[in-house]
């Protein structure tokens, strides 16, 4: 046998171990069970949690017990990450006054933003509109993702007081990103957050991601209070609470995206 | 294979859509089946775009869109909470020019393959 273990050797080894297990009456101990499911089988628990999760933006007043928050953060801790660098850290805010302070600051930023960039406040053809639009389109071109029409609509609603940034949730988890992570640390933030959100869903808690939490980054005093300091910065937030209504009455429909499927020397396009 | 509405691959990528022009910022129309609506208000409460409201007499309230031109992002949170399946958005939002979406087909419910 060479120094390098070939795949076939591994398969042989596995068979030997399985045989030894069977002889000794031991149940398999080396890997989790493989569930071969029939086409069209019902959703399992994980699939069910994924499909019934909705972003929750209205919460009951009741606080979530601390151990539940610790429990879902624990799931975030075990998320995969590039080079296992785990480039995250959490700030849990459960103080009404603190959340209100965060909310107020974000609202103020949104008010400033709409005042300076939202040309839809002025009727088509007006001078103000033309003046603002020229500036806005420059900004829009420079950072097209931030100035996408969807967040701009939300920013306007936040400025008008029609939409809350942290949704008056009893608990807000800020996810900080360690900027010196491996590769693209922001991707790892998405992965750890997804673990947290799905774990919460499986426990009957409602969550909502809050990308607007990044607005807090321009408030040095608040950052200090929250313990956010370089090389960490706020990447995202997740609101947690008990949902109002029954947001999992039924699953929703979503876009079907192109899937290129290469198999047997042939390329197919699926949806 | 499903009959996909594959968008044209080349768009006017330089053009930025005007946010309040319904031809350029194409938010979704929301369909409300008034027969199936019992005015429970849940959709109004959960809609992140804040574009739904109730109308009509107190004993026969129904949901409707606040304005024709809305910020609906087709999340279908309204559908998710509606016991009578009376309200839904069926197509993705889209924008003209730079933001025009590609490789997107019609909506589908979860398919258990
Ligand atoms: C990274 C990320 C950031 C988000 N930021 C916000 C936010 O700031 N405010 C908000 O209300 N929703 C936010 N959302 C929620 C999305 O709007 C929501 O996931 C989407 O509309 C789909 O709806 P669903 O989550 O109910 O399926 C965010 C989602 C993600 C993944
Ligand atoms: S959730 Fe359904 S039944 Fe309730 S108000 Fe909205 S459309 Fe009507
Ligand atoms: S799909 Fe979402 S944004 Fe559109 S009306 Fe329903 S809840 Fe509101």
SS3 at position A36: coil
Closest CA to A103 of A172, A158, A156, A165: A165
A236 lines ligand 1 (CB under 6 A): yes
Q: What pLDDT is attached to residue A42?
A: 93
Same domain, A190 and A232: yes
CATH code at B52? Answer: 3.30.70.20
Interface membership of B4 toward A (CB under 8 Å): yes
Interface membership of A251 toward B (CB under 8 Å): yes
Taking only the tens place, the pLDDT of each residue in B35-85 is 999 999 999 999 998 899 999 999 999 999 987 777 888 899 999 999 999
In a domain, B101, yes or no: no
Whether B1 shows a pLDDT value over 50: the answer reads: no
Same domain, A100 and A210: no
Range of the domain at B53: 36-88
- Which of A104, A137, A166 is the C-terminal boundary of a domain? A166
Distances (CA, A) of A265 to A223, A259, A261, B1: 55, 16, 10, 19
Q: What does R_g of chain A's alpha carbons equal in angstroms?
A: 24
Contact B52, B78 (CB under 8 A): yes
How many whole angstroms separate alpha carbon A153 and alpha carbon B82? 25
pTM to 2 decimal places:
0.90
Q: Do A149 and B99 touch (CB under 8 A)?
A: yes
Interface membership of B104 toward A (CB under 8 Å): yes
Taking only the tens place, the pLDDT of each residue in A132-164 is 999 999 999 999 999 999 999 899 999 999 899
Q: Do B71 and A150 touch (CB under 8 A)?
A: yes
In a domain, B105, yes or no: no
Range of the domain at A133: 96-166
In a domain, A254, yes or no: no
Number of domains chain A contains? 2
Contact A196, A43 (CB under 8 A): no
Q: What is the 3-state secondary structure (H, E, C) of chain B?
A: CCCCCCCCCCCCCCCCCCCCCCCCEECCCEEECCCCCCCCCHHHHHCCCCCEEEECCHHHCEEEECCCCCCCCCCCHHHHHCCCCCEEECCCCEECHHHCCCCEEEEECCCCC
B48 lines ligand 3 (CB under 6 A): yes
């Amino acid at each position: 046998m060479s120094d390098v273990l070939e795949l076939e050797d591994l398969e042989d080894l596995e068979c030997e171990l399985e045989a030894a297990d069977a002889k000794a009456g031991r149940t398999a101990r080396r890997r989790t069970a493989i569930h071969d499911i029939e086409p069209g089988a019902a959703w399992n628990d994980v699939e069910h949690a994924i499909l019934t999760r909705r972003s929750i933006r209205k919460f009951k007043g009741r606080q979530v017990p601390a151990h539940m928050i610790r429990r879902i953060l624990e799931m975030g801790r075990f998320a995969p990450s590039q080079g296992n660098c785990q480039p995250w850290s959490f700030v849990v805010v459960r103080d009404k006054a603190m959340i209100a302070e965060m909310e107020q600051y974000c609202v103020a930023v949104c008010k400033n933003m709409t005042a300076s960039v939202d040309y839809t406040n002025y009727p088509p053809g007006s001078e103000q509109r033309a003046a603002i639009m020229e500036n806005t389109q420059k900004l829009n071109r420079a950072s097209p993702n931030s100035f996408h029409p969807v967040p701009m609509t939300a920013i306007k609603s936040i400025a008008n007081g029609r939409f809350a940034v942290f949704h008056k949730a009893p608990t807000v988890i800020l996810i900080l990103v360690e900027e010196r992570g491996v590769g693209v640390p922001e991707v790892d933030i998405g992965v750890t957050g997804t673990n947290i959100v799905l774990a919460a869903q499986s426990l009957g808690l409602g969550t909502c991601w809050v990308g607007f939490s990044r607005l807090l980054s321009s408030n040095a005093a608040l950052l200090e209070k929250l313990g956010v300091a370089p090389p960490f910065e706020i990447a995202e937030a997740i609101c947690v609470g008990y949902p109002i209504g029954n947001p999992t009455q039924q699953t929703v429909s979503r876009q079907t995206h192109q899937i290129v499927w290469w198999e047997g020397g042939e390329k197919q396009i699926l949806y | 294979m499903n009959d996909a509405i594959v968008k044209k691959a080349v768009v006017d990528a330089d053009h930025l859509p005007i946010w309040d022009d319904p031809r350029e910022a194409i938010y979704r129309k929301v369909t409300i089946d008034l027969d199936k609506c019992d005015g429970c208000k849940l959709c109004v409460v959960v809609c992140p775009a804040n574009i739904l409201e109730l109308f009509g007499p107190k004993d026969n309230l129904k949901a409707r869109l606040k304005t024709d031109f809305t910020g609906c992002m087709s999340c279908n949170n309204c559908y998710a909470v509606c016991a009578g399946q009376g309200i839904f958005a069926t197509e993705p939002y889209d924008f003209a020019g730079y933001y025009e979406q590609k490789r997107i087909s019609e909506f589908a419910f979860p398919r258990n393959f």
